[in-house]
């Protein structure tokens, strides 16, 4: 994602006008520049692409598996997950299945053509009636809720795409972070939100 250049000392004291300019820049970056850059990185064999504009720079780094997507500049093994958004999002580290499995024995491979909506809480899962396999969704759309002691916690789509397989049944008990619904990427629509949920 766009990050202020840390070498730019002027950022320390910014006025409202400069902040407004920042916001405009971010909007333009995500709407125009990122899709174009992703397409460019996908078309070339480059591992990394960086663009600077004013005090902003955007760096795209190709993951080891070959698909192009913007990444935040954090170690992939960084476990300071407190920075994760409150709601379910695409998770870069797959969680082990629960139950009798040894938690360290099993890890699921990441599937690159899809993202997974995860549970925002421990409780029972209720999908929305309107959400069925094939339903087109935008990132942030509500897919259902997890009832935590009578408090419904929203399950949201981590990316734009279409609803794929349901991983748990309606009314089933789920834990925090559990994978609930697969979202198949729609490659033409994902560029601006892809990867922001990790």
Partner 1 sequence: MFRKVLIANRGEIALRILRACRELGVESVVAYSEADRESLPVQLADEAICIGPSDAKRSYLSVPAVISAALVTGCDAIHPGYGFLSEDEGFAEVVAAHDLTFIGPPAAVLERFASKAGTRQLLAAQGLPTIPGSEGMLRDEMHALSEAERIGYPVLIKPSAGGGGKGMRMVRTPRELESVLRVCRSEAKAAFGDDSLYLEKWLDENRHVEIQVAVDRYGHGVHLGERDCSVQRRHQKILEEAPTPALSAEARADLAQLAIRAVVAAGYENVGTLEFLVDSAGDAYFIEINCRIQVEHPVTEMLTGLDLVTTQMRIAAGEPLGFSQADVQFRGHAIEFRINAEDPDHDFRPGAGIVERYHAPGGPGVRMDSHLFPGYEVPPFYDSLLGKLIVWGPDRETAIARGKVALEELVIDGLVTNASIHQALLENETFLEGKMTTNLLDRVGSAAFLAAAARV
The contact set with partner 1 (CB under 8 A) reads 79-82, 84, 95-96, 98-99, 102-104, 121-124, 148-149, 151, 173-178
Side-chain-facing half-sphere of 16: CA atoms under 13 Å: 0
Q: What share of the chain is helix, strand, coil (3-state, %, to 5)?
A: 20, 30, 55
The least distance separating partner 1 from the CB of residue 183, rounded to whole angstroms, comes to 21
- Do residues 91 and 118 lie in contact, with contact meaning Cβ atoms separated by under 8 Å? yes
Nearer to partner 1, 92 or 135 (CB): 92
How far apart are alpha carbons 32 and 35 in whole angstroms? 6
The least distance separating partner 1 from the CB of residue 197, rounded to whole angstroms, comes to 14
The least distance separating partner 1 from the CB of residue 158, rounded to whole angstroms, comes to 16
Residue 195 is given by DSSP the state T
The least distance separating partner 1 from the CB of residue 106, rounded to whole angstroms, comes to 12
Record the tokens describing residue 87, joined without a space. Answer: 């709601």
Distances (CA, A) of 9 to 3, 15, 16: 14, 14, 17
């Amino acid at each position: 994602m766009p990050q202020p250049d840390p070498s730019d000392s002027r950022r320390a004291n910014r006025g409202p006008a400069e902040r407004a300019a920042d916001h405009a820049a971010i909007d333009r970056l995500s709407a125009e520049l990122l899709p174009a850059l992703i397409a460019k990185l996908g078309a070339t064999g480059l591992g990394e692409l960086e663009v600077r504009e004013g005090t902003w720079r955007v760096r795209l780094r190709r993951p080891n598996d070959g698909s192009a997507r913007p990444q935040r500049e954090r170690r992939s093994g960084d476990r300071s997950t407190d920075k994760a958004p409150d709601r379910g999002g695409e998770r870069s580290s797959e969680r082990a299945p629960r139950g009798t499995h040894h938690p360290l024995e099993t890890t699921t491979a990441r599937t690159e053509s899809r993202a997974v909506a995860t549970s925002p809480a421990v409780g029972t899962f209720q999908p929305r009636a309107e959400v069925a396999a094939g339903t087109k969704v935008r990132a942030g759309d509500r897919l259902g809720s997890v009832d935590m002691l009578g408090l419904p916690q929203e399950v949201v789509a981590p990316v734009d795409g279409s609803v794929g397989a349901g991983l748990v049944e309606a009314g089933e008990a789920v834990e925090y972070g559990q994978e609930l619904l697969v979202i198949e990427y729609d490659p033409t629509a994902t560029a601006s939100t892809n990867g922001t949920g990790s």
